Amino acid sequence: MKKFTVSAVFVVFLLTLLTVSSATGCTTMLISKGATEDGSVVVSHSDDNDLMDQRIIYVPAMDHEEGAVRSIYCSGAAMGEFPEYRCFLYPRMVTDDRGPAYMGEEPSIALGTIPQVPHTYAYFDGNYGIMNEHQLMFGECTDGAKITAKPEPGKRIFYSSELSRVALERCRTAREAIALMGSLIEEYGYYGTGETLPVADTEEGWIMEIAPSPEGTGGLWVAKRVPDGEMFVGANEFRIREVDRDDPDMMVGKELFPVAKKHGWWKPSDGPLDWLRTVSLGEYNHPYYSLRRVWRAFSLAAPSLGLSPWVEDGYTKAYPFSIKPDEKLSVRDVMAIHRDRYEGTEFDLTKGVAAGPFGYPDRFYGPYDGKGDVGDPKRKLDGAWERPISVTYCGYAFVNQARGWLPDPIGGIMWLGLDKPADTVFMPFFVGVESLPDSVANCDTSLFSRDSAWWAFNFVSNWAGLRYDAIHGDIVSRRKALESGFLEKLKEIEKEAMEINRKNPEELADFLTSFCDENAGRTVDGWWDFSEELIVKYDDGFINVGQMGTQAGYPMEWLKTTSWPEGPTEYGKR
User: pLDDT digit string (tens) for 100-145?
Assistant: 999 999 999 999 999 999 999 999 999 999 999 999 999 999 999 9
Asked if the structure places residue 384 within a domain, the reply is: no
Q: What is the pLDDT of residue 377?
A: 64
Angstrom distance (rounded) from CA 207 to CA 196: 7
Q: What is the pLDDT of residue 548?
A: 81
Percentages (nearest 5) of helix, strand, coil residues in the chain: 35, 20, 50
Angstrom distance (rounded) from CA 125 to CA 441: 10
Closest CA to 20 of 540, 524, 370: 370
Note whether 28 and 198 are within 8 A (CB): yes
Angstrom distance (rounded) from CA 82 to CA 287: 30
Task: Give me the number of domains the chain comprises.
Answer: 1
Asked if the structure places residue 178 within a domain, the reply is: yes
Amino acid at 453: A
Angstrom distance (rounded) from CA 431 to CA 163: 20
Angstrom distance (rounded) from CA 465 to CA 295: 27
Angstrom distance (rounded) from CA 65 to CA 122: 17
Strands (E), 32-104: 41-47, 57-59, 62-63, 69-73
Asked if the structure places residue 39 within a domain, the reply is: yes
Q: What is the pLDDT of residue 50?
A: 81
Q: Which helix (H) or strand (E) holds 469?
A: helix 468-503
Q: What is the pLDDT of residue 163?
A: 98
Q: Which residues of the chain have pLDDT under 70?
A: 1-24, 371-377, 574
Angstrom distance (rounded) from CA 495 to CA 501: 10
Note whether 80 and 193 are within 8 A (CB): no
Q: What is the pLDDT of residue 556?
A: 95
Angstrom distance (rounded) from CA 505 to CA 54: 32
Residue 322 Cα distances to 205, 275, 287, 317, 448, angstroms: 12, 16, 21, 12, 41
Asked if the structure places residue 547 within a domain, the reply is: no
The pTM of this model reads: 0.95
Asked if the structure places residue 80 within a domain, the reply is: yes
Asked if the structure places residue 137 within a domain, the reply is: yes
Q: Which helix (H) or strand (E) holds 78?
A: helix 76-79
Asked if the structure places residue 51 within a domain, the reply is: yes
Asked if the structure places residue 453 within a domain, the reply is: no
Angstrom distance (rounded) from CA 413 to CA 124: 11
Q: Which residues of 156-183 are buried (b: 16+ CB within 10 A; e: fewer)?
A: bbbbbbbbbbbbbbbbbbbbebbebbbe
What's the count of helices (H) and strands (E) in the chain, helices before strands?
A: 14, 22
Q: Please enumerate in sequence order all residues whose Cβ is within 8 A of that of 180, keeping only pairs 6 or more positions apart, or say none.
A: 166, 167, 170, 171
Note whether 116 and 94 are within 8 A (CB): no
Q: Which residues of 194-220 are buried (b: 16+ CB within 10 A; e: fewer)?
A: bbbbbbbbbebbbbbbbbbbbbebbbb
Q: What is the pLDDT of residue 367?
A: 86
Q: What is the pLDDT of residue 418?
A: 98
Task: Write the pLDDT tens digit of every residue in 19-57.
Answer: 344 446 899 999 999 999 999 999 999 999 988 999 999
Which residues span the domain enclosing 307? 6-355
Phi, psi of 412 (to 5 degrees): -85, 125
Task: Write the pLDDT tens digit of every residue in 184-215.
Answer: 999 999 999 999 999 999 999 999 999 999 99
